[in-house]
Chains A and B, each alone.
Chain A
Amino acid sequence: MEKHTLAKNEIMATGSILLVLIYVVFFTLFIIIFPIICNNKFLLHIAILANIFALVAISWDLLFGFVGILNLAPAVFYGAGAYTVGFLTKYCHIHPIGGLIIAGCVGLLLSLLLGLPSLRLRGAYYAMATLAFSAVLNTLALGMPNITGGEEGIIGIPSLISGTEWNFYFSSYLVLTCVLALKYMLSTKYGKKLTSIREDEILSQAAGIDTSKYKVIASTIGGVIAGLAGGYSCYYFNNVAPEVFSIAFTFSIITITVTGGIGTIIGPVIGSYLLTFANENLYIIGQYRLLVYSGIIIFVILFSPTGIIGAVKKLKRN
């Protein structure tokens, strides 16, 4: 029975220090050169968006692509992180760095809360539970205007960092750190055990791997990343609104990851850049964005479930 992901020598490839160095060099150059080439604040803004989405996509992929759990609510961690920053700033006037860190912690706590049921529930049930959870949060965010600002949300959050260029550097740095840290983690014994759970959970249990523990850890890491992304997004956009809990957001994340390639770390990043830029640049499809996204997903799932990265790897093999 074909598994939902075929990412293969991901593990082999990451062991190489050379590759890591190449990544670092490439990304650093990219980060430095990009703002110089694109002397266009708007493009930088799009890139920042892409970075934020990439972070959430990576965190979602950690659960879906690597452990095999379908979570229909990456929005939960992201939105919670964003609203945390919103609340803390509005009511406690917290220092931005503190806010960011706490957003990450909130992501961690929520991921534990949502992660534990995942151990007891089968895939479909769990997915529905997460969907329900994000719907609850959405309703709460809308339905309690006194606390959450209702439809408008919380506005007037000061920036963590001022200036588009610096935000670009910061967000890109976040993505880079995330990618490197995860790639390193995956090359360790822990990472290989994680992927073995995706490959064949029963077999990994027979190999002595406490699958529950690993699932929770993976889920937690994902939660922290998404929470941080959410917190940062609140600082960058200077506001937070119930849209963060919407199905549209969840769906965008899924599209990004599936297109770029499930079960890889770099896939979501590529997918994010591709789709975010496509979305903003092709105004023609602007109105039909979700339609196009869904079309992409349908196409990818039917014909290349492993996304772009998977297709590239298959070509390389042949």
Chain B
Amino acid sequence: MLELKNVSKSFKGLTALLNVSFEVQRGEILGLMGPNGAGKSTLINLMSGFLRPTSGEIIWKGVNIEKLKPYHIVVKGISRTFQQPRVFLNMDIFDNIYVGLLPSNKSGLFKNNNLKERVFEIIKKVSISNAHSTLARDLPHDELRKLEIARAIAADPELLLLDEIVSGLTVEESNEIGEIIRMLNRAGLTIIIIEHVMKFLMNVSQRVVVLDHGEKICEGSPEEISRNPKVLDVYFGKGEEENLA
């Protein structure tokens, strides 16, 4: 569904990504992992149109999208969140989701076409407990993250890119997010998760791609990855002590 072919990105002599290639199948949950500076966020920025690759192609449903503007990519069906929690702080929950609504109903996530009802549907789906008129700036961290997801799926995407969505959350809150992700996936949404929190990523992903220093070093199922010596080397060799299992 989404294919990256030899994607490279350099910034003024500093190479962030080198010849990264992989595919994302429809309906899967793909995990993207790697230590700090591996190029994960650069990759998301490339996929969502905020950056252009120095070379290589990004193909979405058969069409090259690497040169498109961010909003255009959203219209084409790819939505994203940001590493630092990012919502419209001075708007309430309702409006945050409302402005992200696009007219079409592509992936069947929504039962009805009435915009207002769609917003409430999304709020329920993502289990936001605060009242819809609450200002985003008054929300606690976990609700904020849910709002981010809500805003992202308001555009009715076919592919959702989640950039470190559980950073800053407790284990329980992360589990809740994990449940939401699985539920969305069961409803037909393809999801790419970028994460630092290994446990979470391994639990939720069906397949994993590992990056280091801008290159893909391996991909496979979570079990395969956690046994792969190259991966272990990257993490333990650098002194990182995350538990992969």
Contacts and interface: CB of A to CB of B under 8 A. Distances in A.
B106 interface: no
Nearest to B97: A207
Contacts of A199: 88-91
B155 A208 contact: yes
A6 B99 CA distance: 18
Contacts, number: 72
Nearest to B76: A208
B101 A189 contact: yes
A202 interface: yes
Contacts of B79: 206, 208
B235 interface: no
Contact of A208 (B50, B75, B133, B135): B75
B92 interface: yes
Interface string A203-239: 1111111110000000000000000000000000000
A76 B72 CA distance: 33
Place the interface of chain B in its size category: 20 to 34
A195 B95 CA distance: 11
Contact of B88 (A203, A208, A210, A211): A203
A199 B87 CA distance: 9
B87 A205 contact: no
Contacts of A46: none
A196 B99 contact: yes
B99 A193 contact: yes
A152 interface: no
Contact of A196 (B74, B91, B133): B91
Given A11-B95, A192-B99, A206 B82 contact: yes
Q: For the complex, would chain A's binding face be called helix, strand, loop or mixed by DSSP majority?
A: helix
Contacts of A208: 71, 74-75, 79, 100, 102, 155
Most buried by A among B80, B89, B102: B89
B74 A206 contact: yes
Interface residues of A, number: 23
A207 B154 contact: yes
Most buried by A among B82, B88, B101, B133: B88
Nearest to B102: A208
A204 B71 CA distance: 8
A8 B135 contact: yes
Contact of B48 (A192, A196, A206, A209): A206
A207 B151 contact: yes
Interface in B92-141: 92, 95, 98-102, 115, 133, 135
Contacts of B82: 203, 206
Contacts of B26: none
B214 interface: no
A254 to B, nearest CB: 23
A280 interface: no
B115 A189 contact: yes
Contacts of A193: 99
B90 A6 contact: yes
A195 B86 CA distance: 16
Contacts of A6: 90
A189 B99 contact: yes
Contact of A192 (B69, B89, B95): B95
A151 interface: no
Contacts of A8: 90, 135
A92 interface: no
B70 interface: yes
Contacts of B50: 202, 205-206
A12 interface: yes
B86 A200 contact: yes
Contact of B69 (A12, A196, A205, A207): A205
Given A189-B115, A200-B86, A205 B71 contact: yes
A8 B89 CA distance: 9
Given A11-B95, A12-B92, A199-B89, A207 B74 contact: yes
Contacts of B75: 208
Nearest to A196: B99
Given A8-B135, A189-B101, A192-B99, A206 B70 contact: yes
* A-B residue pairs, 6 tightest by C-beta: A208-B74, A207-B100, A205-B70, A199-B88, A196-B99, A208-B155
30 contacts: A7-B90, A9-B92, A11-B95, A189-B98, A189-B99, A192-B95, A195-B91, A196-B91, A199-B89, A199-B90, A199-B91, A200-B86, A200-B88, A202-B70, A202-B86, A203-B86, A203-B87, A205-B69, A206-B79, A207-B71, A207-B99, A207-B100, A207-B155, A208-B71, A208-B100, A208-B155, A209-B71, A209-B99, A210-B71, A211-B71
Given A200-B89, A207-B99, 4 more contacts: A11-B95, A12-B92, A192-B91, A206-B79
